[in-house]
A = this chain, B = another copy of it.
């Protein structure tokens, strides 16, 4: 097979569709990122190199970054297993409730890797963790954090303790290891149904602000949970 030099080539159209929609298939740009994704167990559908598999002109028209990389990988969207995330009791899990900003979702994925979280459960209304902005904010952590979608009903049926951040909550420091930490929408916070089912946990702070950014709240609670585990392990 020769070099692809037509924008109407089936694989080129499929990659372009994946970049636009990042639905069942997602795209990773750059030789290092593509290699990391394969090493991380993502399933490649195709890997194309500029000037080798695809002509420079067609390749450059594909990429959405200003400084196009030389390699693009087309991957199956990784699907985490919510049950496997929930089955772990040795560390906390995270549930995101309509967290809309992809930067926040990606930052929380990075925090999940940093603090050995079991995984990130996405309730409806969240930004796509595989959107380019979220992948960048995760700084590579998207590759090794289990991420799975979950419905509100499924989450409410789980046995682990739900802990939701709220100004009116109690100071629970550290959060228990078998908890699911629920973080809510940037404006509206955690939804009413989840608040009713959860234990409310507060982060002590000045009355000068109404709330913290959702990723800041996650950073503080996850670090506390991780520190408590380190202390236990040390003893």
A residues neighboring B (CB under 8 Å)? 103, 107, 110-111, 113-116, 137, 139-141, 144, 173, 203-206, 208-213, 215-217, 219-220, 223, 226-227, 230
Contact = CB atoms under 8 A, between A and B. Distances in A.
Contact of A141 (B103, B115, B208, B230): B208
A205 B226 contact: yes
A24 B205 CA distance: 33
Nearest to A145: B208
A17 B24 CA distance: 45
Nearest first, the 5 A-B pairs at minimum CB distance are A216-B219, A219-B219, A114-B205, A220-B223, A114-B209
A203 to B, nearest CB: 6
26 contacts: A107-B213, A107-B216, A110-B209, A111-B212, A113-B206, A115-B206, A116-B208, A137-B213, A139-B209, A139-B211, A139-B213, A140-B209, A141-B209, A144-B208, A204-B223, A204-B226, A205-B226, A206-B226, A212-B219, A215-B216, A215-B219, A216-B216, A216-B219, A217-B219, A219-B220, A220-B220
B107 A206 contact: no
A212 B116 contact: no
